[in-house]
Structure 1
């Protein structure tokens, strides 16, 4: 960038504008990972069996998978700033519920509301950044988009550590209460420093396409519940999901302003390939994270603390890789590397044994850290370029739905693969599955011509305005 352009970018995307937009999106990943160290204390304290308490994890995933594109759509129509602020209020209220209401029901409700409130953050922030570029005419610096990825990666990594400290100091309810000051701080900064985004007001409730939203929720919800228990599959749920999908397609294709623009997705093949890459990558990432942690404790004989330390290279390298490419506008090479490293990691998992040296275990964890950092930043930049300007909120939220689909699919894969306890043979099978998924990502990336070269300045200032991203 030239000096005038750099100065303009600093003025348009200064600390006051960015600080609240970086704080809100980290609430979802930090809540996703903090709960992992709280399941046992909650189970013991409230007398809830382990088979029931795991719904605290699934509940947030299910809510977020449906709510992210839904609230993105609402933000596209009503304005992302007001949706963002409303979501932060919901998060603050949810953080107080376990403190004032007894029983497991209040905890479940709190997790669902946290999933709902935090789902407003990512699509709203992407919309506000897009609106900033349109209003100022200043291209969005790659470092701005990378900053969101880095903040979410970092918060996800520190979640278990923060959760453990809070539980030791103040009990498990503290992992809910910590949302209150974080949400209120983001609310105050947004209210004071982030300008309102002008959006066309819908003429009626029908402009939000409530029927499409409900049918989409039914499609995703039934599919995710089916995936959660692949060891004993309930095929009627899959059939119900397929029926709901058919109804969704029929309904949305009849509307002039649908909740999900299926014609745009069919025409915008680069965007649909990005969604598919994200699903496959995060299927592998989550399968590795949860499966590796279980195996090193149950089969390799490491303690919980040691298991956490063995995954520090994953978090550390994810952060370093995301910082390394934060200012780059080239995305093809990072995406190709993000596909190749899980292939290598999956193949190395074929040689895992309970007696494998620590260096071998650390190497495998490190490879997945490299892939996570590169994939998070590069795919977010690609999404920002490919999504139509008028649908950035919905498109961004839908990308998170594919991430959650990958996360829940990984849970189903682990349930079907591991059985009662993970073994070396289970890890070998898991490694083969991860390598196969990553190989598909590699094929998608190699054949995607839209990833080649650098974006034009006009694509950064007004993304989605050219090529396949334009709405027809």
Structure 2
């Protein structure tokens, strides 16, 4: 009897050790959503903040750009640190910084200090997503199961949910406590994230070995610095497209050339360009992410500002209009998440983008409200399909030893897209978010959507039995 009990207990323990550790899911999800909640909640706060400080949309656009500039720089760097040292310490440090940034933003009495708070938020939210992807990879190696589709779908759905309900949440908070409450929200969120991370994230990092058998613990600090200089100068140029900033592309080219030479010669490069350059499917995924997020963020910020200033909705009602996109996006993510292939998801997202942009061109200040809701419904399709497909692609296409930095690079390219979207929004609207500006922005989005679809159709790797270095079907 005792031997039977022992066998039963052993079998139960084996089952637990062969399954994904569910205790990791809450901190993974909460950490990964800190960035999208701050990305989207600001959308409905831009007009109230502009009125509070007498700033036009061309100036409040820096509140959007500042966060993405910091995050685009920080994500791959923090992701690489996570690859080397494990997720716990980076997660706790970064999420603690989110709380500090929330306090600074809540007490700020000028637009400049608000921009500084958004920069801190950008750096603070860097660790959540790379840490989650690294934990998924680590658990896959521990359990011997390289099919984390359910966990990847949970992450995608959580981020999709927050990304779409963010404007509604922001409108509700602004109605209750003013725009400062959108910054104050970060204080309790950070406290919960730090607590969960301290209690549940593994204390010891998963040690990876270099091909020589020695642990890869060296930091490529010169490579990181050159990468930061390249990206910083590029993003500054994208945020201020003007002839007087001609020197910024020169700096970008010079720093990028130095970065390339450094990484090709480094023993332990920050970004292994030789491996990355030979991974065409992953490069194509990064390109798709950039173009997809030009469309996504132009809609999020441009359309929302137009519904408030050009159409006349309150911040709360502007967020409420996007609720259908939340519902459709979640339904699409859950539905397509059951299938392993990414090509069908990408094609669905590409067609959905074109349809939604075309509908935006039909809107005017005299349009009935149901037409705005219809646009939000159609935009839910690419929101749900693209984010999941891109995330799954990176997980299976990336070098397993660089999962964190590869996930960070995905976000970097997404934020490059957001920078382009922010610049396009500011240029289209100028001093007033009117209907003509919204139509101009919609044409830019439509062009980006066409490019996205062309890149996807032309990508032959999506038709092969494997999309990258890991075994994941590329078909529908």
TM-score (norm 1): 0.86
Out of 157, 162, 187, the residue aligned to residue 194 of structure 2 is 187
Closer/same/farther in 2, CA of residues 287 and 165 from structure 1, 3 Å limit:
closer
Decide which of 202, 205, 215 is 1:197's aligned counterpart: 205
Offset at residue 290 of structure 1 (A): 2.3
- Show the 5 A alignment for 1:80-159: 80-98=87-105, 107-159=114-166
Cα RMSD between the aligned structures?
3.1
1:69 is aligned, of 48, 73, 76, to 76
CA distance in 1, matches of 2:82, 2:258: 25
Q: How many pairs does the alignment contain?
A: 455
Tell me, in whole angstroms, the C-alpha distance in 1 between the residues paired with 2:216 and 2:343. 41
Instruction: Tell me whether 1:27 sits opposite 2:34 in the alignment.
Output: yes
Residue 21 of structure 1, CA deviation? 0.8
Q: Which moved further from structure 2: 343-352 or 401-410?
A: 343-352
Partners of 2:410 and 2:286 in 1: CA distance: 6
Partner of 1:219 in structure 2? Answer: 230
- Output the CA distance in 2 between the equivalents of 1:305 and 1:193: 36
Matching residue within 163, 167, 182 for 2:170 = 163
**Cα distance in structure 1, aligned partners of 2:84 and 2:104:** 30
Distance of aligned partners of 1:231 and 1:351 in 2 relative to their CA distance in 1, 3 Å threshold: farther
Residues 285-300 of structure 1: matches in 2 within 5 Å? 285-300=296-311
Question: C-alpha offsets along residues 310-358 of structure 1, whole Å, 9 cap, x if unaligned?
Answer: 3332222112211222332122111101011112223334444443444
- 1:373 maps to 384
Q: What is the CA-CA distance between 1:417 and the residue it aligns to?
A: 3.0
Cα offset, 1:124, TM superposition: 1.3
Query: Structure 1: which 5+ residue stretches go unaligned?
Result: 468-472
Alignment of 1:306-345 (within 5 A): 306-345=317-356
Aligned pairs for 1:387-398 (under 5 A) are: 387-398=398-409
Structure 1 pair 174–343 and aligned structure 2 pair: CA distance change class (3 A): closer
Within 5 Å, give how 1:256-295 maps onto structure 2: 256-295=267-306
1:146 to partner: Cα distance? 1.2
Question: Displacement, 1:19?
Answer: 1.3
The SS at the match of 1:208 is coil
Which residue of structure 1 aligns with residue 86 of structure 2? 79
Which residue pairs with 1:18 in the alignment? 25
Shift of 1:296: 3.7
After superposition, give the CA deviation of every residue in 1:177-218 in whole Å (9 maximum; x if it has no partner).
Answer: 332332232222233223233225999999211111111111
The equivalent of 1:208 in structure 2 is 219
Structure 1 residues 49, 117: CA separation in 2 closer, same or farther (over 3 Å shift)?
Answer: same
SS of aligned partner of 1:277:
helix
C-alpha distance in structure 1 between counterparts of 2:55 and 2:439, whole Å = 30
Deviates more, 1:271-280 or 1:134-143: 134-143
Aligned to 1:446: 457
Residue in structure 2 matched with residue 470 of structure 1 by the alignment: none
**The one of 255, 263, 272 aligned to 1:252:** 263
- In structure 2, distance between residues paired with 1:379 and 1:267: 19
Structure 1's 233 and 428: CA in aligned 2 closer, same or farther, altered over 3 A? farther
Contact 2:175 2:316 survives alignment (8 Å): no
